[in-house]
Amino acid sequence: MSSTRLRRKAGPYALLVPATLVLFVGMAYPLGRQLMLSFHEFGRAQQFGQPAPWVGLDNYRELVTDRTMWTVIARSLAFCFVNASITMVLGTLIAVLMKRVATAPRLILQISMLLAWAMPVIAAMTAWQWLFDTRYGLVNWSLRKLGFASFDGHNWLIDPLSFFFVASVIIIWMSVPFVAFTAYAALTQVSEETLEASHLDGATATQRFRHIVYPTIKPVLTIVALLQIVWDLRVFAQINFLQNVGGTPSETHLLGTYIYSLGIGQNDYGSASAMAMFVLVLTLVLTVRYVWSLLKEEPR
């Protein structure tokens, strides 16, 4: 093999070296430290200099036999599935709508979503807290005006089901703009000539979307769905905020807040680290199918 041909084959891989090194340097120590902590008993005493006893797999064994952990996992998976699915559907529909409407409505919609997406999490959560406030919230006031008297003074956060309804509304509201913008960018790459030709051949709008539009934007939607699953599975800030303003933590913990309660709340950093490693493995298991589909599409 000639040196020129060898350089051409090795060139793309060489370009990946700087990014790979940055990722390795940035993640190797935190991940390694977390893995080592999961094999030790690390509590309050260890924060003041006491040596951390080696406990091996005891932290993992305690978690596996803890019913609370499995409840949190099941709750987190259900929450992730519902939110990711609704977000992807709404985001894609809004992207299709932006593709069809005139310039002025599209710009208004895009600016509105951009403002929602760019709003800091704490500022957004404060606004939503006031909307669902028990005494002065706009949501309860509107429902009372519509004839639902039972919502007078209704507390949305005290019941786990309504707690997660509020959390889902907030998270979906903050996530849809990213999906919509990304899907809209992908839709702009669909060939208009092919769509016009299929329309002249008698294809319906559903058939055009199924056989032309969707296959074109599928790789982009796959990546967005992958990111959405990871984000919704590891959501923390919104759930923690709602718990602090009225939710019941023991009944509303998701993976992120449960790990936080183990480490910060109970000073059991060994168990928290073991739980974090478990979440890492769970995330890889849930996303491996999407990664594999991307790798299959790459040769094409």
In tens, the pLDDT along 111-157 reads 999 988 888 888 899 899 899 988 888 898 998 888 888 888 888 98
- pLDDT higher than threshold 70 for residue 24: yes
Rounded to an integer, the average pLDDT of 69-94 is 93
The top-level CATH class assigned to 62-297 is mainly alpha
Question: Would you call 104 helix, strand, or coil by DSSP?
Answer: helix
14-23 pLDDT tens trace:
788 888 888 8
What does each C-alpha distance from 11 to 2, 5, 7, 25, 186 come to in angstroms? 14, 10, 6, 22, 28
Question: Would you call 256 helix, strand, or coil by DSSP?
Answer: helix
- pLDDT higher than threshold 70 for residue 55: yes
Retrieve residue 152's tokens.
């007078």
- pLDDT higher than threshold 90 for residue 179: yes
